Amino acid sequence: MRADLALAWLLTRGSDRREWWRVVLTAAGAALATGLGTVVAVLVPMDGHHHIGLGGGLLDEEGTRGGVVAALTMLLIPVYGFLGQSARIGAVHRDRRLAALRLAGAGPAQVRRIAALESGLACLAGSAAATAVSVPVLLRLWSHPVPLAWAGLAAMVLLVPAAGAAVAVLSLRRVVASPLGVVRRVPPAGPGRLFRVATVLLGVSALFVVVAVFVRDPFSLPLFGLAVGPLVIFALSLLIGAVAVGLAGWSARRLGSALAARTGSPAVLIAAERLRDDPWAAARTHAAVLLVTVVGTAFVGVRQVLLADLRASEREGRLGMGLSYYTDGLDLTAAAILLALAIVLSALAVGTAESLATRRRGLAVQTAAGVPHGVLARALLLETALPLLPAVAVAGAGGMGIGVWYSASVGEHTAVGVPYVALLVPVGVYACCLLAAATSLPLLRRSVRPAELRYA
């Protein structure tokens, strides 16, 4: 392991100018993960009442503080997904150096481990930078932090790079570097894992859904100290997200086969062949986007109902605290969802760039054969647009259904119509996904250079 770490350090130091952007992206993702983890590590040891002065008072009380900790912890999931995408795109850019390691006697697993350690070193740099900023901020907000807060902050400096390297190992498990300078991706056997996950989610969600159907007011029924209603919303969001991910893979295969047999457009034909060859690549790339779409759509619908209920309670004098206390919580939740969306869109852009880097030799061959650059650019966008459209529609409809169900559940307290404004969320997410995919178009022009034919 020591020799692998030394080689990873030498390879990182020897990165050329084209690869430093990958290092910067990885370090930025690690810095964000460290920032979120540091906030969690500082808030967890707190007990009782504290006057923090941030978050509209949500961090002052122990109960609301636990909800903030849970939300920040869930935000770490898309962050590490972004780090995984960065690790994959880094591997294919280093094919000749990886091939040299294979010629020197390194096995495929060792090469992947060295590439993962490179990501770990970049994560360490980002984690150290975030910690250097977190310490003075912590001292400013909390004059005498408890020892557990300092221990948690120090642990984040080591845990985030270790987790980043582990995510990189998991992301590179199907990448194989040959001694001839060829880096290829071994595709998974099929969608079996996705179906198993969906089955488990279905079983877990079934209990909550049945309770929601037969209980008159699920948001007042306690279960293990929590109301059943929020648990139902959480379970349904996961279930709808899993269904949308499965639909993305299924529709990619069906659309690829149908369009390849009927289309006369070169761009559509290229995109259809790509979707037919690896239909589940779209599902893997868009999984986090679809889950955020479900959560975002459901939140907009629930938020509209909650605001109407809060305003009615304020008029009747039934609020225990000021209206801003509750609206600040909703605003912070919206900010967290927007942050998650920004992270997953960045991961989508990095994943599209990684796909281009993997296929750069085939793209160079197509360009040499006379395929115009515009055709390849349209094919790239269609690879994202075609399978994502039905999946985003299902995710948006599911999130809208959650909002309608919540409105019906509390309808006896507040007269609120169907939250149609929530339908704008899937439309906006779909447009943002296309823009994220379009950010890789400048890389396409560099990937089709004739010099790539020397290694084809």
pLDDT tens string 98-118 = 667 777 777 777 777 777 787
Residue 154 shares a structural domain with residue 198: no
Residue 66 shares a structural domain with residue 200: no
Residue 413 shares a structural domain with residue 358: yes
Give the span between the Cα atoms of 82 and 167, in whole angstroms: 10
Lowest-confidence region among 169-178, 385-394, 436-445: 169-178
Q: What is the mean pLDDT of residues 205-233?
A: 56
For residue 335, count CB atoms less than 10 angstroms from its CB and return exposed for 0-12, middle for 13-18, buried for 19 or more.
Answer: exposed
Residue 133 shares a structural domain with residue 252: no
Q: How many CA atoms lie within 13 A of 220 on its CB side?
A: 6
- pLDDT for residue 347 is more than 50: yes
Residue 120 shares a structural domain with residue 215: no
The confidence score (pLDDT) of residue 87 equals 67
- Among 141, 175, 209, the domain-final residue is 175
Q: Around Cβ 431, how many Cβ atoms within 10 Å?
A: 10
* Residue, of 72 and 194, whose pLDDT is higher: 72
* Residue, of 85 and 153, whose pLDDT is higher: 153
Residue 412 shares a structural domain with residue 320: yes
- Among 125, 141, 175, the domain-final residue is 175
Which range marks the domain in which residue 94 is found? 2-175
- pLDDT for residue 306 is more than 70: yes
Instruction: Give the residue from 163, 184, 181 showing the smallest Cα distance to 172.
Output: 184
The confidence score (pLDDT) of residue 180 equals 54
Residue 414 shares a structural domain with residue 285: yes
* Residue 41 counted as domain residue: yes
- pLDDT for residue 64 is more than 80: no
* Residue 128 counted as domain residue: yes
* Residue 182 counted as domain residue: no
* Residue 183 counted as domain residue: no
Confidence of residue 202 (pLDDT cuts 50, 70, 90): low
Q: What is the mean pLDDT of residues 225-249?
A: 73
* Residue 296 counted as domain residue: yes
* Token reading at 268: 């559509």
Q: What is the mean pLDDT of residues 272-277?
A: 84
State the total domains in the chain. 2
* Residue 181 counted as domain residue: no
Confidence of residue 224 (pLDDT cuts 50, 70, 90): very low
* Residue 328 counted as domain residue: yes
* Residue 301 counted as domain residue: yes
The confidence score (pLDDT) of residue 225 equals 45
- Among 175, 205, 224, the domain-final residue is 175
Residue 254 shares a structural domain with residue 360: yes
Residue 165 shares a structural domain with residue 203: no
Q: What is the mean pLDDT of residues 34-39?
A: 86
Residue 229 shares a structural domain with residue 267: yes
Residue 206 shares a structural domain with residue 84: no
Residue 223 shares a structural domain with residue 331: yes
